[in-house]
Amino acid sequence: MEIIVCIKQVPGTSKVQVDPVTGVLMRDGIDTKMNPYDLFALETAVRLREKHGGHVKVISMGPKQALDVIKEAFMLGADEGLLVSDRKFAGADVLATSYALSQGIRKMGEFDIILTGKQTTDGDTAQVGPEIAEYLEIPHIANVLKITEVTVKSVTVEMDMPDTVELVRVTYPCLLSVEKDIFAPRLPSFKKKTETKDREIRIIGLNDMEDKDEKRYGLSGSPTQVERIFPPDENSDKETWEGSGEELADRLSDKLKELKFI
């Protein structure tokens, strides 16, 4: 089985704030990690390879720093990695990101399944998987809870729906976006780290892509734009209570009585 997993490097903490005086975005530390939801996709890929043979390749888009998540993927069992990186891809929204990744995937050879995590912890959109599938003109299944059967031509999965769970079979090539907890992710292997420390990671940019039209990537290729950013609204209509634990408890129960919750 040839499996490709899309992974992303995301901020370690989510403490971005707007400085109320300067209006500047402040970030608390620049530590990074692999998007936790991707760990489930990677685990799924490695287990499929363990059972059915083949290769697990990972692809990521980001600055050179993102090589770290590809190395982490090697420690978790991935065979090959590709980094899509170019200043011209900067400022990309979901559409431009998905396009760049789909173009990158076209450089990775034939595949049966592309796996993605449900969403990222910084973007939170959950859109990139389906959009990549559209660009590659392959079917996709989102909200995959479980993989129940794998054959040489197709995979059968349980798909989460609002009121039901559907058992669905899809033929290759296809894209699956997996839910958290589909499998318990393994820990990175120090042994694998040593084995793979010199493994080459290919880096490709705009000039390596089939489509070299700048306007399809980065900010130019992004139909959505952030017009402005601002701190969240304050609730002006509020009361602040201070006092001892007892006082506050009593005051609260009185208020709840007044509001007829008790």
Partner 1 sequence: MGKLLIHQNLVNAEIAEKLIKLCPFGSIEYSNGNLDIDAGCKMCRICVKKGPNGVIEYVEEQAPKVDKEAYAGIAVYVDHSEGKIHPVTYELIGKAKELAAKVGYPVYCIFLGYQIFESAEDLLYYGVDKVFIYDYKELEHFRIEPYTAAFEDFINIVKPSSILVGATTIGRSLAPRIAARFRTGLTADCTRLDIKDNSDLIQIRPAFGGNIMAQIITPNSRPQIATVRYKIMTAPKRKAEPSGEIVVCSMDTAKFESDVEVLKVTKKENEDNISESEIIVVAGRGIKTRKDMALAYELAEVLGGNFAGTRPMVEAGWIDAKKQIGLSGRTVKPKLIITLGISGAVQFTAGMQSADFIFAINKDPNAAIFSVAHYALIGDIYEIVPRLIKNIKLAKGLSGEIPKYSAPSSMN
Cα(94)–Cα(87) distance, rounded to whole angstroms? Answer: 16
| CA-only gyration radius of the chain, Å | 23
Nearest of 143, 139, 140 to residue 165 by alpha carbon = 143
Binds partner 1 by CB under 8 A, chosen from 50, 106, 109, 124:
124
Per CB under 8 A, which region of 41-49, 67-75, 106-114, 252-260 contacts partner 1?
A: 252-260
In contact, 5 and 58? CB cutoff 8 Å: yes
Judged by CB under 8 A, the residue of 54, 67, 107, 126 near partner 1 is 126
Contacting partner 1 within 2-61 (CB under 8 A)? 10-11, 14-18, 22-27, 30, 61
How many other C-beta atoms can be found within 10 angstroms of the C-beta atom of residue 216? 17
Stretch near partner 1 under the rule CB under 8 A, chosen from 48-56, 67-75, 107-115, 216-224: 216-224
The least distance separating partner 1 from the CB of residue 195, rounded to whole angstroms, comes to 28
Nearest CB to partner 1, comparing residues 131 and 196: 131
Cβ partners under 8 Å of residue 27, min gap 6? 11, 15, 16
Residue from 108, 170, 178, 182 binding partner 1 (CB under 8 A):
170
Tell me the one-letter amino acid at 89.
F
Q: Does the protein bind partner 1 through residue 164 (CB under 8 A)?
A: yes
Give the nearer residue to partner 1 in terms of CB position, either 198 or 227.
Answer: 227
CA distance 109 to 44: 20
Tokens of 139: 């079917």
Please state the closest distance from residue 122 (CB atom) to partner 1, in A: 4
Residue 134 buriedness (CB in 10 A; 0-12 / 13-18 / 19+):
middle
137 dihedral zone (left: phi>0; alpha: psi -120 to 50; beta):
left
Question: Is residue 151 a contact point for partner 1 (CB under 8 A)?
Answer: no
Mark the segment that binds partner 1 (CB under 8 A) among 41-49, 69-77, 105-113, 169-177: 169-177
Q: Is residue 198 part of the contact set for partner 1 (CB under 8 A)?
A: no
Residue (116 or 196) nearer to partner 1, CB: 116
Residue 207 interacting with partner 1 (CB under 8 A): no
In the complex with partner 1, the residue whose CB is nearer, 178 or 196, is 178
Look-up: residue for tokens 């959505």? Answer: 224
